Chains A and B, each alone.
Chain A
Amino acid sequence: MNKKNLYGIVAILVVAATVLSACGPKATPTPAASTEVEVFSWWVGPGEADGLAAMVKVFNAQYPNIQFINAAVAGGAGTNAKAVLATRLAANDPPDSWQAHAGQETIANYVAAGQVLPLDDLFKSTGLDKVLPATLLPLISQNGHPYSVPVNIHRSNVLWYNPKVLAAAGVTANPKTDFATLDAFFAVCDQIKAAGKICLSLGAPWTAVHLFENIMIGTIGAQKWSGLWSTPPTTDWAGADVTAGIANFAKALSYTNADASTMTDWQPASKLVSDGDAAFNIMGDWAYGYFANAAPNGLALTPHTDFDWAVAPGTYGVFNFLSDSFVLPVGAKHPDATLDWLTVAASRPGQEAFNPLKGSICARTDCNQALFSEYSQDAAKDWTANVVVGSLFHGVVAAPAWAASITTAVGLFQADTTKTADFQAALVAACKSDGTCK
């Protein structure tokens, strides 16, 4: 390199340094003013991003002096977002509030790590403690203190079906009323199988865990299901109830499509139902938006003729829920603004703005139902009247490490459904390794 070039490069660097030092102070806002709130979520997809924007609109109208910073990270079910959040927490740079599945995913992660504060005062001041179902509060609390504000509620135990496939197979049973037991459901499955269709469609491997929890609830009932997760468990993991649930799960798997494991997510399995290749699909109520919404984000189908829904077999009167919620971090940079955000997230206007777009129902029981779809109105009635239990795969009842062990056990069982004893032993071991079982 000759000298001229060298000096040229050096001159450029000098100029760059001058520019940097010149624009540095001007571009830096004063960090002391509590005029912003950074909210971290994984709501970037269709529907959910619109819902967040609608809720932010409500927030901006109520608190015009606070700037809302949307720190959303893309990636299904928050897999990427959770890794990014863990990094930020480890670096002691928490956002002002973040999205977390209500229940153990919040409690075993953030509460146990001492990273979030209890919200008793906020629950009282916003009246949230009065308008949530009584069975919900214990599921999102630790030692009687709630730690996160549930914004929405999704239902896990929904049976989606294609009425045309049922009619073609000569099924007379009505899924909304006649599947009080799993045996009644399996009897219909035999009919559908005989007609040459898939009875129960299954998607990507995680949907098998989703199916497992709903088959288990359908077998042992709400009370015993909740007993599996109490400390210490009042339902024996090694007992006959769980054995019966596993037997039903194996039977349910025998009615599923062979290519399930090659599906990329839950949508292909739901599409099997709407395409008329399968009769039933057990999936959370986010499937409603996929069936009913206009293209390109949905299939634009007509409810009751192209597709229909019922409560999952054996779980009538039970609401297996999951919920997205927001937390108040320890050492929040803008604690007052965070509380303002949480107040909006807990409020009726906030939840009424968010949920119709997201396709979920309000966590509050006093929302205006006219804003919601037909399915959501159905679900909201059950939300008030049913026994509420928590979902396993979606982070309500088990700590992440426990849920991950169960996911592995379900995967191994799915690969070889004859190993019932091994599966139950793995479930017992998972509970022990969590520390809940002795």
Chain B
Amino acid sequence: MFRKFTLRVPRLILALALILGGAICVFFLWNVQLIIAGKNLTSIGILLAGLVFYTGIILIISMFQSETVLSIALLLPSMVAVAIFVYGFIGWSIRVSFTEWKGLNPDYTWAGLKQYYLLFQNNPRFVIDVRNTAMFTVGFILGCLIIGLGLAILLDQKLKGEALFRGIFLFPMSISFIASGVVWGWLMNPSTGNRITGINLIFQTLGLKSLISLWHSTPMPWGMAFTVIPAVWQLSGFTMALYMGGMRSISDDLREAARVDGASEFQIYRFIIFPMLQPVTLSAVIILGHMSLKIFDLIVALGNKAIGLDVPGIYMWTTTFDGTNYAQGAAIGVLMLVSVAILVVPYLIQNMRTETQL
């Protein structure tokens, strides 16, 4: 690895200057605060100084002329950051979930599985959360897959203005869940009588009074089903894009061959396209599923923390930050992580296996 080493004096001098300068800056900022225009920029200053320091080290490593060593050196900072800020904090949450911590001061008294037990033992709110999440996940994934695939098939017909439609269908994805939750909250306003607005007003004007609905304020448990509508509206375009990518990668020769053999268009989709899209469906289910299992923003904007539309994310927020019950909140967070992991980890393992086979 270190066989080739070429000493370059100018580069070495520069590297040493950077290392020294960076180290001095870090040391300096560690002791004195950096305040510019009333803003405390100490942490950003330390970060920049650290970068300068590390650039010097990279310059020295680059003299070894080994790509492996250099790439490890370049990746190391982000690997350390991910290890601390993602996995370190996951570990810390798990630790907190086994404690009695309630109130502002940390209390690491061992409580075993008590926090989890409290969630599963006679806790009607958590039962509602699990039911709502299941209902939302099933509706959301099925809705996105069916509508997404339908749109993809339509756009696959090589029609004019395809790019325009693709843009229109994909566009809702660029809106944040909070914003679409607020807007769909207006559209799905359940008021009646002289206060009728939104979609209900359209129904009334069109004379479709039987369609006027309470929307997401429908009594439990079915109110949750209506929250699927904005979510599907927002992400079916994304699913469509996934499927279109999959369809584009299917060679036209296959379709031609099938046509020559006398297959109808329906049969081409049924026996050639759909089977070849299976990996795309799997990816879509994983991506959509992990979104819906930890959904928070859309639901909180639509439901304003109403119990009928409660999900674990909201329960976690109110328990932790309104109720200062940090141990219980951590337990809810860990359960959310586990539910996502059950979905994602097997997929990642399978991906890794196929990659190593290649």
Contacts and interface: CB of A to CB of B under 8 A. Distances in A.
B36 A23 contact: yes
B204 interface: no
Contacts of B220: 415-416
A137 interface: no
B307 A205 contact: yes
Could you tell me the dominant secondary structure of chain B's interface residues? helix
A25 interface: yes
Size bin of chain B's contact surface: 35 or more
Nearest to B182: A264
A286 to B, nearest CB: 18
B217 interface: yes
A21 B34 CA distance: 10
Nearest to A435: B102
A326 to B, nearest CB: 17
Contact of A205 (B33, B36, B214, B306): B306
B358 interface: no
B216 interface: yes
Given A20-B48, A404-B325, A263 B304 contact: yes
A112 B217 contact: no
B185 interface: yes
A23 B39 CA distance: 14
B333 interface: no
Given A264-B304, A415-B308, A258 B190 contact: yes
A69 to B, nearest CB: 9
Interface in A4-43: 7, 10, 13-14, 16-18, 20-21, 23-25, 27-29, 31
Contacts of B321: 79, 82-83, 86
Contacts, number: 152
Contacts of A86: 104, 321, 324
Given A113-B104, A411-B306, A262 B217 contact: yes
Given A27-B36, A259-B217, A13 B55 contact: yes
B325 A10 contact: no
A89 interface: yes
A411 B325 CA distance: 18
Interface in B22-69: 22, 24-25, 28-29, 32-36, 45, 48-49, 51-52, 55, 59
Nearest to B124: A412
B144 to A, nearest CB: 24
A386 interface: no
B185 to A, nearest CB: 6
A264 B214 CA distance: 16
A258 B305 contact: no
A373 interface: no
B172 interface: no
Nearest to A21: B25
Given A262-B185, A262-B190, A112 B103 contact: yes
29 contacts: A13-B55, A14-B14, A14-B52, A16-B48, A17-B22, A17-B25, A23-B36, A24-B25, A31-B33, A90-B104, A112-B103, A113-B103, A113-B104, A258-B190, A259-B214, A261-B303, A263-B304, A264-B304, A399-B103, A400-B322, A400-B323, A401-B103, A401-B323, A401-B324, A404-B319, A407-B322, A408-B125, A414-B307, A422-B124
Interface of A: 7, 10, 13-14, 16-18, 20-21, 23-25, 27-29, 31, 79, 82-83, 86, 89-90, 108-110, 112-115, 204-206, 258-259, 261-265, 277, 399-401, 403-405, 407-408, 411-412, 414-416, 422
Given A24-B34, A412-B124, 16 more contacts: A10-B59, A13-B52, A17-B48, A17-B49, A18-B21, A21-B21, A24-B32, A28-B35, A89-B104, A109-B104, A258-B217, A264-B304, A399-B103, A400-B324, A404-B319, A408-B318
- Please provide the 9 A-B residue pairs with the shortest distance between their CB atoms, ordered closest to farther: A404-B323, A411-B307, A261-B306, A113-B104, A113-B105, A204-B304, A259-B190, A401-B323, A205-B306
Interface of B: 14, 17-18, 21-22, 24-25, 28-29, 32-36, 45, 48-49, 51-52, 55, 59, 102-106, 124-125, 128, 182, 185, 188-191, 193-195, 214-217, 219-220, 302-310, 318-319, 321-325
